[in-house]
Chain A
Amino acid sequence: MDTLRESADAERFVVEATRFPFGWFAAAIGAVVVAVVAGVTVGPASIGWSDSLREVVGLLPGIDGSSDLSPAQSAIITKIRLPRVVLGLMVGSLLSLTGAAYQGAFRNPLADPYLLGIAAGAGLGATIAIVSGVGNGIGIVAPVPLAAFIGAFVAVAISYVAGNIGGRSTVSLILAGVAVASFLTALQTYVLQRHSDVIREVYSWILGRLGTSGWGEVTLLAPYFVITCLVILRYGRALDVLSVGDEEAATLGLDPGRIRAIVVITASLGAAAAVSVTGLIGFVGIIVPHAVRLMVGVGHRALLPMTILVGGAFMVLADLLARTMVSPAELPIGVVTAFVGAPFFVLVLRTSSRQTW
């Protein structure tokens, strides 16, 4: 195209149209900070907010962390509230990011991280672990999360193998996921029906919770969180190209099947890890990405990092409500995410002038 005019002016509107939405990013980072501060300072134990914050800041290397808190108060901050906030950030980010990745990879606005049977597989795994009474743990690995993780990953693997038999269309993969999910849910229902004494325990697992005891869950989840974020962020532009469909993406020099496989398998790993630690927290993976699209548009370059921030902040704030609204009891987090998230999403939908899906 060397005979086309080279003009500096022509480039300006391109630069403007592709500019990164820093304003939205600053707002999202602000939301994360607000959520973390609120999550650490608010709780049933009355600890002053400045003392709470000083305690947290004191954990950072190189800062003298002498606060006026008693050892018990200090433990509430560093062993209960802070790990719970960090876990909330990671789970919210993971579910939102993997939801956005699934929606992009399948070109389907209704795809969520549970699409390929993760929820049903994790549910069955957890149910079997609870029913077989191994509930209190063998060694360092808690059996319920482990069983849930295995169940989730087996479900995705079956969906993937079954869905690719009839060709490589995304629809056949989604349909395989639906079939696998129904089958595993039926198995879970059967097992539960035979062991009605554990229904309550399984039900509470299904509703999801962020309750932690120390940093165990956080360290368990951290490697999956890091890997999932790094891989999916790297494939943002590839997901943009996939949005024109497999055939056109191939004419642009990509291998859409390979990209979809990498993105979906990575996202499934992240979602399975999140689900195994916290149970099934619905709604976040589908609503946060759509809300973010209404803010920054459909391009994955801005969408993916934004979902990490917004998803994390949203989950921590939802958890804050879950543990304070009926204090000292707690509401299931899955109830709060939908209860708060649905009106929030409708608000964004009403006020945004952007066209997305």
Chain B
Amino acid sequence: MVTSVLRVDDLTVSYNGERVLDGVNLELDEGTWTTIVGPNGAGKTSLLRAVVGGVDYEGAVEFKGSHEHSARDRALNVALVPQIPVIPPGMGVVDYVMLGRTPHRSVFASESRRDRAVVGDVMDRLDLTTFATRDVNSLSGGERQRVVLARSLAQEASLLLLDEPTSALDLGHQQEVLDLVDELRTETGMTILATQHDLTMAGRYGDDLLILNEGTVVARGNAREVLTEANISEHFGAKVMVIDDDAGPIIVPVVPTSAA
């Protein structure tokens, strides 16, 4: 039986009276990967922030069928890799990854054997053991992204939210991070909800795609159904050509002939 990990009902978020998210419904089954695309300001980040409880919202957010959750319960159910994570100055990699264990103990308690074991395993899995005592700020962009990913994995939540996890990375490191997430999903059965700017990349990873525009879901389905020339033109205001490759749609920008 497929279980629902997250169910979002009529989710609305407003900043200073302005609606940035307007009645979004979403249901994620265990072990799936859903990617949200949409133009700047469409409400992608707001949707993720509402799910992790980072902003006030109207509507319902349910984890595994349960409405009631304290901030700590929520943190046990869902972890977020922010688009621009705050890296504390001077903090070592192990200490940073250990922050992910926060919801698993009282804020006054010291770390347990299990906390250390989980941090060790996650860092081992992400090839971070050689960086154990390094300052997170001294790492390269790709290494740092793996450290942030390690922190959210140490949270051991069944739902992982990734807010444009690859926007600061070169193509090789983008693939590295997304392949890693996909491997972890297969291994552990966790559920992924990611936002993505690169439409071709968005079509390559995951099962479901949805386009968010002006706070509402305007298209959803698999990559071929969603990433059409008509949809991209309408919602992104972009002139593109979609090439249907075996692995998924390739989105190529069209340059007006007069410029060429």
Contacts and interface: CB of A to CB of B under 8 A. Distances in A.
Nearest to B87: A244
A245 B121 CA distance: 26
Contacts of B107: 235, 237-238, 241, 254, 259
B215 interface: no
Contacts of A45: none
Contacts of A107: 88
B52 A251 contact: yes
A253 B74 contact: yes
A1 B86 contact: no
A14 B103 contact: no
Interface in B63-117: 70-76, 78-80, 82, 85-95, 98-100, 102-103, 107-111, 113, 116-117
A32 to B, nearest CB: 24
Interface string A58-90: 000000000000000000000000000000000
A243 B87 CA distance: 8
A10 B120 contact: yes
Nearest to B158: A1
Interface in B133-192: 133, 135, 137-138, 153, 155-156, 187-188
Contacts of B124: 4-5, 7, 10
Given A3-B187, A298-B90, A17 B95 contact: yes
B117 A241 contact: no
A354 interface: yes
Contacts of A244: 85-88, 99
The CB with the most chain B CB atoms within 10 A, among A241, A244, A301, is that of: A244
A7 B137 CA distance: 28
A197 interface: no
B201 interface: no
A17 B94 CA distance: 6
Given A1-B118, A17-B133, A252 B90 contact: no
Contacts of B74: 253
A355 interface: yes
Contacts of B80: 248, 251
A254 B102 CA distance: 8
B120 A297 contact: no
Contacts of A255: 71
A14 B123 contact: yes
B88 A234 contact: no
B129 interface: yes
B204 interface: no
A13 interface: yes
Contacts of B156: 1
Contacts of B88: 107, 243-244, 298
B94 A14 contact: yes
Given A248-B85, A253-B75, A354 B121 contact: no
Contact of B53 (A3, A235, A251, A301): A251
25 contacts: A1-B118, A1-B122, A4-B124, A6-B117, A7-B120, A10-B124, A10-B129, A13-B120, A14-B94, A14-B117, A14-B119, A16-B133, A17-B133, A235-B107, A238-B107, A240-B95, A240-B99, A241-B102, A243-B86, A243-B91, A244-B88, A248-B82, A253-B76, A259-B107, A355-B90
Interface of B: 49, 52-54, 70-76, 78-80, 82, 85-95, 98-100, 102-103, 107-111, 113, 116-125, 129, 132-133, 135, 137-138, 153, 155-156, 187-188
The 3 tightest CB contacts between A and B, nearest first, are A253-B75, A10-B120, A17-B94
Given A13-B132, A245-B86, 5 more contacts: A6-B121, A7-B121, A18-B94, A18-B98, A238-B107
